[in-house]
A and B are shown apart, each in its own frame.
Chain A
Amino acid sequence: MKDLGTVSQLQGHFEEEHSSEDKAVFQQLKGFFDKAKKKILGDRVDEVLSPNGERRTSGDLSIILSGYDPSWWEDQEMGASRSHIDTFKGVRDARVDFFVVETNKLLIRLDKLLSPDAPTDPKKRKAFEREIVRWVPDSEVPACLNCGRSFSLFTRRHHCRLCGGIMCDRCSEIMASSYAQKLINPAHSFSGDGFLKRSNSNTSLNSLMGADGEAVMRVCRTCRKLLERRDKMTELRNTTPPIVQIYDKMKQCIREAEQIIPEYMPMVDSLSQGETVYNYRQALILRTKLVKLYEAVDQLSKKILVMDLRPDQQSPNPRQVLLQKSIRMYASNFMQENMIGLQSLPSEEDYNKLRQARAAEIQRRIAAERRAAMEAQDRERAERDRQSREAANGQSLSPHEEGIKLGHRREASGGEGTKRKFLSGIVGSKTSGKVHTRNDSDGTGNSYSGWKPSEDPQRISRSNNADPMLQQMEIIRGYIKQAKEAHRSDEVTMLEQNLRDLAEEYRRQQQAANS
Chain B
Amino acid sequence: MASRGGPQRPNGASQGKICQFKLVLLGESAVGKSSLVLRFVKGQFHEYQESTIGAAFLTQTVCLDDTTVKFEIWDTAGQERYHSLAPMYYRGAQAAIVVYDITNPDTFGRAKTWVKELQRQASPNIVIALAGNKADLASKRMVEFDEAQAYAEENSLLFMETSAKTAMNVNDIFLAIAKKLPKSETSGTPQPRQGVRLNNEQGGQQSEGGCCK
Contact = CB atoms under 8 A, between A and B. Distances in A.
B149 interface: no
Closest 6 pairs (CB-CB, A-B) = A414-B30, A450-B41, A445-B43, A450-B60, A406-B48, A472-B54
Given A450-B42, A450-B59, A495-B57, A413 B51 contact: yes
B64 to A, nearest CB: 14
B150 interface: no
B72 A407 contact: no
B6 A369 contact: no
B14 interface: no
Interface string A432-444: 1011111110101
Given A438-B46, A494-B57, 19 more contacts: A269-B116, A269-B120, A365-B80, A366-B79, A366-B80, A409-B48, A414-B29, A420-B137, A428-B136, A432-B45, A434-B43, A445-B43, A449-B60, A450-B59, A460-B53, A469-B85, A490-B59, A495-B57, A501-B92
B104 A432 contact: no
Contacts of A427: 136, 138, 163, 165-166
B81 A468 contact: yes
A472 B166 contact: no
Nearest to A473: B54
Contacts of A498: 3, 57, 88
Given A369-B29, A493-B7, A420 B165 contact: yes
Interface in B105-141: 116, 119-121, 134, 136-140
Contact of B53 (A416, A431, A471, A502): A471
A53 interface: no
30 contacts: A269-B116, A270-B120, A277-B121, A365-B80, A373-B51, A407-B48, A413-B51, A415-B30, A416-B30, A416-B134, A417-B48, A420-B47, A420-B136, A427-B136, A427-B166, A432-B45, A435-B167, A436-B165, A436-B166, A445-B43, A447-B43, A450-B58, A451-B59, A452-B56, A468-B82, A468-B84, A491-B59, A494-B59, A497-B3, A500-B3
A444 B4 CA distance: 33
B134 A497 contact: no
Given A369-B29, A420-B165, A475-B54, A452 B6 contact: no
A416 B48 contact: no
A424 interface: yes
Interface of A: 266, 269-270, 277, 362, 365-366, 369-370, 373, 403, 406-407, 409-410, 413-417, 419-421, 423-424, 427-429, 431-432, 434-440, 442, 444-445, 447-453, 455, 459-460, 463, 468-469, 471-472, 475-476, 479, 488, 490-491, 493-495, 497-498, 500-502, 504-505
Contacts of A500: 3
B70 interface: yes
Nearest to A495: B57
A479 B59 CA distance: 12
B83 A419 contact: no
Nearest to B83: A362
A424 B43 contact: no
A335 B77 CA distance: 43
A418 B45 CA distance: 15
B47 A407 contact: yes
The residue in B38, B43, B163 that gathers the most chain A C-beta atoms within 10 A of its C-beta is B43
Contacts of B56: 452, 455, 475
B19 to A, nearest CB: 13
